[in-house]
Structure 1
């Protein structure tokens, strides 16, 4: 059994990670790591956006520099951190690490800048509070060699809370490999990968810039994965080699969305555009409905029952699914305690934000919204 490790490197194999700097180490590092010369034979460029993750960034960086596959560069983009996040990296003297700084512009802008600076054949992403197993990049490299026509390859992942790091089992036999040709349908069954567990050919990303929508911090990663999936199949290695930290204050996994992420409407628009196959249109619209139902369930769990019903009425495609009707039942008549228990199972780290509305108000609002929906349907408006 192998395990994810948050320990810092102390041996010579880490290329002098803990070697002391001379006078003002972080400034010396900035000069060294932002230069034009990459480390030799760069296969992977790892992009890590950083904003106020002082307690976690060093473990994340160490998990990259400890990779058994060493042909990499790590580009940390500090997005105007106001804590001592970059100070946690001051004693690292590894030529594979590059530290870039920018005024706070959001995670999308930070990732896009990292893509522009990337000098490797493939670009990987690692959030500053997640961790990689030491064999992650080696497994990706092997999968890429076996499937040379693919431009996007990912692995499974494991979620954890706090410091309870999961174990990673290094199986003796080769893991199964899945070719995903219909990403929306696959994702409705279960998320296949996430930002910290996927690699994309750098040339493709650079042609798609800005890859992550500037100014967006909710669903900005899904926006990219589904645009990539619309172009070509995606390979998925069924081995959990990434540890995703959930339940942190300020992390997207703990956020409750009160507005529909813009990428959802863009997905809907692309699905309804001319030239899209019937199957792609159907699978995409069902996925959009799936996301909206998630928003409705989250609103119901926060006591915002009327808002939950509004979400559901914005996703008529979902009415053919059981999830839509379960969410409607939640918002209309489930006791709040039952809703919270259900939501805690499907969304770890969730915390309700608002008090419940009175049941009578819910019923009145449901009848009004149902009438509005019938009017829109009669006039053929969205």
Structure 2
């Protein structure tokens, strides 16, 4: 079989977009500059109220030679937009790119080579985080926890490394389209944010092979209007709800006790992060949310919480930073016990950080 045959319709690149006029042109140009005949770009305009759709149409005319489809739908949220993108995809593999991010130069060529050489169920990719500061931007490379440029066939190693790294971004994982078709439909839970947190782990559980492409393919652009920065009660609850969904999807799977402990340790880290973030909310609202989050977290665990914290403290799980595990375990104990001192400290810390962020944005 020739390289051209291997790469025929190799990749569908899906861009869900809602009110992304400020970002979508550089995003799409970063993709279109690399698009080859074996690639297809699908933009899902999720009921945008701004010029998102018009900008995409202008680029569609400019790049008339490209396989470039625009699907317009009423606003139903990013999860439904992702599902619609999957329905429109015809490539053997699927790459998601968020409308405010950039595809790194050479990324599609690197993915094509990895696919042609290894034919894995998923290509897991490093990425850059990108933060705007005044007129400058700062990039930091984020490396996944798998061996670099390695092909893995051990599913337990794949899952334990994934949960140890806690990088739950769907755009960092280029799955075979067939893998999406194996799981419960619709793939992404409609109406929820953090829709990929609930899904990526379940998709990896269907993968018999993973190739780690140890180079950044995405510039993950973080800015004040990012979903990650829009903290609310729903934001907090949806994140921990996603952890419960991971447990529900894995409970019937034949995974080892080691994998289940790694799931619990990851849940503990996320729980601590959500509790700390909840102190950005008004005090009464935050207190209600923390009670909900606590119960959802406890319901998401396979093991007793004290056993999970003990494993983190003893260092008996795969970890990229044991000191961070110790800190998270200590904070989880305080959060679960309802420590007043912990609450006061985190409330003051969050308010100080929010003040610093507002000051930085103003200058």
- Using structure 1 for the length normalisation, give the TM-score: 0.68
Query: Structure 1: how far apart are the matches of 2:109 and 2:272?
Result: 38
Q: Secondary structure at the match of 1:105?
A: coil
Q: What is residue 7 of structure 1 aligned with on the other side?
A: none
Verify: 1:319 aligned to 2:309, yes or no: yes
- Which one of the candidate residues 248, 273, 289 is aligned to 1:294? 273
Query: Structure 1 residues 230 and 274 mapped into 2: Cα distance closer, same or farther (>3 Å)?
Result: closer
Structure having the higher Rg: 1
Q: Deviations over 1:309-345 (max 9, x none)?
A: 764564452432331322444764253476339978x
Q: Secondary structure at the match of 1:259?
A: helix
- Which one of the candidate residues 6, 11, 14 is aligned to 1:47? 14
Query: Structure 1: how far apart are the matches of 2:166 and 2:51?
Result: 33
Instruction: Check conservation: 2:125, 2:217, Cα contact below 8 A.
Output: yes
Query: Structure 1 residues 267 and 198 mapped into 2: Cα distance closer, same or farther (>3 Å)?
Result: closer
> What are the equivalent positions in structure 2 for 1:49-198 lying under 5 Å apart?
49-67=16-34, 71-92=38-59, 93=61, 94=63, 95-148=66-119, 150-162=120-132, 164-165=136-137, 176-178=148-150, 179=152, 181-182=156-157, 185-192=160-167, 194-198=169-173
Verify: 1:333 aligned to 2:341, yes or no: yes
Larger helix percent: 2
Report the CA distance between 1:276 and its aligned residue. Answer: 3.8
Structural RMSD (CA): 3.4
Structure 2 unpaired stretches of 5+ = 1-6, 142-146, 299-303, 313-325
Q: Which moved more, 1:307-316 or 1:133-142?
A: 307-316
Instruction: Check conservation: 1:268, 1:288, Cα contact below 8 A.
Output: no
Instruction: Check conservation: 2:126, 2:172, Cα contact below 8 A.
Output: yes
Structure 1 unpaired stretches of 5+ = 1-39, 170-174, 352-382
Q: Secondary structure at the match of 1:221?
A: coil
Q: Deviations over 1:183-228 (max 9, x none)?
A: 5543454344623332111233234363533423322112221012
Query: Structure 2: how far apart are the matches of 1:216 and 1:184?
Result: 27
Query: Structure 1: how far apart are the matches of 2:32 and 2:276?
Result: 40
Q: Secondary structure at the match of 2:197?
A: helix
